Structure 1
Amino acid sequence: MDMQTLQHLFPEKGSIPEAYALPAPVNQTSILIGGELRPWKGPMRKVFSPVYLRHGDKLEPSEIGSFPEATVEESKAALEAAVAAYDKGRGLWPTMSVAERIACMQDFTKQMVAKRTEVVRLIMWEIGKNLADSEKEFDRTIDYIKATINAVRDLDNDNSRFLMVEGTIGQIRRTPLGVVLCMGPFNYPLNETFATLIPALIMGNTVVFKTPRWGVLLFTPLIEAFCSAFPKGVINFVYGQGHKVVPSLLNSGDVNVLTLIGSSKVADELKKQHPKVNRLRAVLGLDAKNAAIVLPDADIELAVKECLSGALSFNGQRCTALKMLIVHQSIVDEFLKKFVAALDKLGRGMPWDKGVAITPLPDVSKTRYMCDLVEDAVAKGAKVVNEGGGLACETFFNPAVVYPVTEGMKLYREEQFGPVVPVMAFDKIETALDYVISSEYGQQVSIFSSNPDLIGELVDPLVNQVCRVNINCQCQRGPDVFPFTGRKDSAEGTLSVTDALRSFSIRSMIAAKQTDESKKLLDDIILNHKSKFINTRFVF
């Protein structure tokens, strides 16, 4: 792999298959605020794809659209619309029955499915994700919405009965928290954004949605669906630079829930902006430096396969990616040899190329950072063990396997979030354990071994350091019914289909003395449908 080969991975203008080419630039010229698509006549921010176009020996960035370079004024208007729609809990949306909110969500989902081709194509062009993974992200998101609808239906049906305890009649349901500020990530801009946005909405909250840094235009085909499926002000968009427009939203004190998939440093700064931190609930998916511990008795073929996928799926740009491979000294040479051989077979190219695994990174700043990490490690004694590893051409970075990575190198602790695979060796099991224990993050870990005694010895301390221990498989988020969270600086709150519903709601109840008068009163309310909260209806 050389620089010319990397350069020729980019397509010539006019050579892109029609099925995957963008028919025209996508220009988002309005902002959804208060149920209206408000025309935007201010400055626009251009969006350039990580897919450069080749003109002879020159590469040029391809402009694929633009979106409003909005200001604090527009973000405040979005927040005001969400606050008005919630109306201190008296708004149409928070007082709707669960069945009515489900109907709105089903309407949205139906409209969303019709936009699959457009959204998938924009995921590819905006963030460089390959076609198969872009399609998978869309389809998984639809499945997530449907599972959420089923879960909220079951939750409401379970709460439709009354409890009678110690002379008190009670009914307990989950109710919304208020206004949610939702900030999604670039790597799974649709799926991970919706993993918080959808449960927040369906539980009766109103939402202010700040689009990701990369992955803005892919929401454009869905804006009409958001506008028509939900009541006015329930969902409102915020554009512009996050460090400029977001602080004012939190400073207002009107945001009740902050949900962010991003870095712990950003989360810390944002929470400090709120004037009453105790009133702010945070649902956060943050940093991770997930390790794979490969023991001497591991099935090396299996470990290589899982570690390769775990480290480099979507170029390693996943919070659940394996970001440090800790391999026993007795097998590290064999492991590296087989890992590099498997890596060499991975397809490199553009998102629509058949069988491609390694694609361009979203921005040249990402390739520069990868190069910096590799250069730092090499300067401090490590080597790039795969031929051509670490070569970069504009947004394309050829994966680098770096060994041995030791303390003091940036790669030892920093989350690379890209196609650099650091490897360290160990002799004593305590060395591997200490790495995980001393980490600032505690999301997941993978163990590779066929020895039940060793696995048991490792699992017991590790479950007190991370929230998921994967045995002979890579770290991952799914299935979505499993809890997804982390310890230390990796997360706050828990996300899964059911856990997310709890994260964006609170238990509320009505109570009355167990007397004939109370029973008669409650019967009247229920039989004559005088309350959305006090009811025994079954949602089908």
Structure 2
Amino acid sequence: MNMIPFKGDFIDGRFVLPRAGSERAVSEDPGDLDRPVGEFTFDEAAVDDAVQAARRAFGPWSKRSTKERTGYLIRFRHILKARASEFARLISREMGKVLSESKAEIARVLAKLDSARREEADLIRSTVHPIERGVVGRLRFRPRGVVAILSPFNVPAYLASAQIIPALLHGNTVVYKPSELTPFVGQFIASAWKEAGLPKGVFNLVQGAGVVGQTLVSHSNVDVVIFTGSWAVGSKVQEQVSRHPHKLCALEMGGKNSAIVCRDADFSVALDETVSGAYLTTGQRCNATSRIIVEEPIANRFIDGFLRRVNSIAIGYSQDLNAWMGPLVSEKTLKRVEGYLTRARAEGFEVLREGGRFDCGRKGHYLKPSVHLRRHFPNEPLQDGTYTDDEVFGPDVAIYIVRNLDEAIALNNRSHYGLVASIFTKSKAKFERVLREAENGLIHWNAATTRSSGRLPFGGLKRSGNDRPVGFFSPYVCTIPTSSVERALL
């Protein structure tokens, strides 16, 4: 495959190449390192140009009717649908996930475009409340202004679009920074919005590494920051934003997610859902299953079935239709995961299935799925930098054996994170108990931790977020609720 030409940042309605001497980088195909996706350059100086363009465009754009703004979304949808196959191949090539996952991701973007202008719009409709004779109270939602969106590499089209779409629909302007690992996915998105005919400055794209993101987050003319990524980076984003009290900040920062398998679980459902939860996207999901907590009476039977299914996972190149799991996104990521696997042994875990690099006939960042076991409840304090407590973000899962649901819930809550918990049981009462007691923002019943819906809010507790759930609740992040007490004098 040929390298893709780099167009530059997208600012004020046109692509602009960074100035001479800017930093240069290469976007890899993580599954075929002999065929890079393309070279790109970046310069944090472009951030100010992008933010100023967005600020200039905000007034005119916010004054347009919702019907007018919806028209641009509909045109974007038509463009995306027509080029869906091309876009899916690009996502898989640049990020490494298998083609079926990329196609499903684009389908979610199309669904988001539909739900944003239908169901989600109902969340922020104006309401009127009588107060006294001749006086009413009215609640309206106004756009906030310039929205900075920093999106991750793992679901690069959907997680970016899920924030861009509501921000634009409700009258905001956008400066979008994609991951430096998926710059050409970002370029594709910008090209589609350009083709949709958005007015100049309404949507802007800046490319680059962390320094570009830091410059964007700290810019005084940004009103909203929406970040999806690791806790380590997200906590720095929050620190920077705290210096600007006017900015709203929404953070989604990963998880150490648990699947609790009770003794009355449907085995087939539990096995299928936990395998997909642990290894979908090669484990590179904030909602991936990190821990499977199994009740002792069924532990041996569950482990045998789980290992049989893991042994059948087909690893391969992203464009290979027979592959179920692709490579990790980078050599840095692969080495980090390998480090956690080494630490697992030192922390007392049994190795049920060895990880290690995998040769699929191409030079890439391939790693075999691994499984670890711990037979006793961890009583040591939570500690950063450990396999037990960190988010591994790779094709690995730890199985814990517990005596009962009390221990299972306690182990689920023993975490710095609080994104997703799933429970597999036929008992609604057990599920409702987990709903009450689990310290998570998302709680599933007989469904993988990776299950989600654009028609539901998405966000976690503790290090997983800052109580600004997005997903279906995105309109609340990019609008200002405004109350009025009104007396009409005729």
- TM-score normalised per structure 2: 0.91
Work out the CA distance in 2 between the residues paired with 1:197 and 1:405: 45
Does the 8 Å contact 1:348/1:356 carry over to 2?
Answer: yes
Contact kept in structure 1, 2:19 and 2:43, CA below 8 Å: no
State the Cα distance separating 1:300 from its structure 2 match.
2.5
Matched, 1:32 2:10: yes
Q: 1:74 to 1:404 in 2, by over 3 A?
A: same
Deviates further, 425-434 or 337-346: 425-434
The aligned counterpart of 1:496 is 471
Structure 1 counterpart of 2:69, which letter?
A: R
Instruction: State the percentage of identical aligned residues.
Output: 26
Give the structure 2 partner of residue 119 of structure 1: 87
Q: Which runs of 5+ in 1 are unaligned?
A: 1-21, 53-59, 518-540
Give 1:28 deviation, angstroms. Answer: 1.5
The structure-2 alpha-carbon separation of the partners of 1:275 and 1:485, relative to structure 1 and needing over 3 Å to count, comes to closer
Residue deviations 1:54-80 (CA, integer Å, cap 9, x gap): xxxxxx532121222x22211121112
Against the structure 1 CA distance between its residues 164 and 67, is the aligned structure 2 distance closer, same or farther, given a 3 Å change threshold? same
TM (normalized to structure 1)?
0.83
Q: 1:468 maps to what in 2?
A: 442
Write the deviation string for residues 14-53 of structure 1: whole angstroms up to 9, x where unpaired. xxxxxxxx3x21121332111122244534422111122x
Q: Which amino acid aligns with 2:40?
A: F
- The answer on 1:67 being equivalent to 2:19 is no
Give the Å deviation of 1:389. Answer: 3.2
Is 1:311 the counterpart of 2:278? The answer is yes
Structure 1 residue 148, shift from structure 2 partner: 0.5
Superposition map of 1:101-140 within 5 A: 101-140=69-108
Find the aligned partners of 1:183 and 1:209 in 2 and give their Cα distance: 6
Matches within 5 A, 1:200-349: 200-228=167-195, 229-242=197-210, 244-274=211-241, 276-349=243-316
Is 2:405 the partner of 1:437? no
- Residues 173 and 509 in structure 1, CA contact (< 8 A), matched pair in contact too: yes
Q: Is the aligned partner of 1:404 residue 2:374?
A: yes
Judged with a 3 Å threshold, the aligned counterparts in structure 2 of structure 1 residues 328 and 34 are, in CA distance, closer, same or farther, namely: same
Alpha carbons of 1:383 and 1:177: their partners in 2 closer, same or farther (altered >3 Å)? Answer: same
The structure-2 alpha-carbon separation of the partners of 1:218 and 1:72, relative to structure 1 and needing over 3 Å to count, comes to: closer
Distance 1:428 1:471 in 2: 17
Change (3 A) 1:288 1:155: closer
Q: What is the identity, as a one-letter code, of the residue corresponding to 1:474?
A: A
Once residues 293 and 224 of structure 1 are traced to their aligned partners in structure 2, the CA distance between those partners, rounded to angstroms, is 44
State the partner residue of 2:131: 165
Off by >6 Å, runs of 4+ in structure 1: none
Q: Deviations over 1:332-387 (max 9, x none)?
A: 2221111111111122211122242121111112221222111111233323213x
Are 1:147 and 2:110 matched, yes or no?
no
Q: 1:438 to 1:152 in 2, by over 3 A?
A: closer
Match in the other structure for 1:12:
none
* Contact 1:51–1:62 (CA under 8 A) maintained in structure 2: no
The structural deviation recorded for 1:162 is 5.2
Gaps of 5+ in 2: none
Give 1:449's aligned amino acid. Answer: T
Q: What are the superposed Cα offsets for residues 101-137 of structure 1, whole Å, 9 maximum, x if unpaired? A: 1112212222222322221111111111111111110
Structure 2 match to 1:45: 25
State the match for 1:424 in structure 2. Answer: 400
1:431 is displaced (CA, Å) by 2.5
- SS at structure 2 position matched to 1:199: helix
* Distance in 1, Cα, partners of 2:118 & 2:43: 38
- Could you tell me whether the CA contact under 8 Å between 2:186 and 2:205 is conserved in 1? no
**AA partner of residue 108 (structure 1):** F
Structural mapping, 1:475-514, within 5 Å? 475-492=449-466, 493-497=468-472, 499-514=473-488
Measured on the aligned residues, the alpha-carbon RMSD in Å equals 2.2
| Partner in structure 2 of residue 6 of structure 1 | none
Deviations 1:184-203 (A, max 9, x none): 11110000111111111111
Any idea what the Cα deviations from partners look like across 1:255-276, whole Å, max 9, x if unmatched?
1111011122322212322474
Figure out how many residues of one structure are paired with residues of the other and give that number: 475
Q: Which amino acid aligns with 1:147?
A: S
CA–CA separation in structure 2 for the residues paired with 1:294 and 1:153:
38
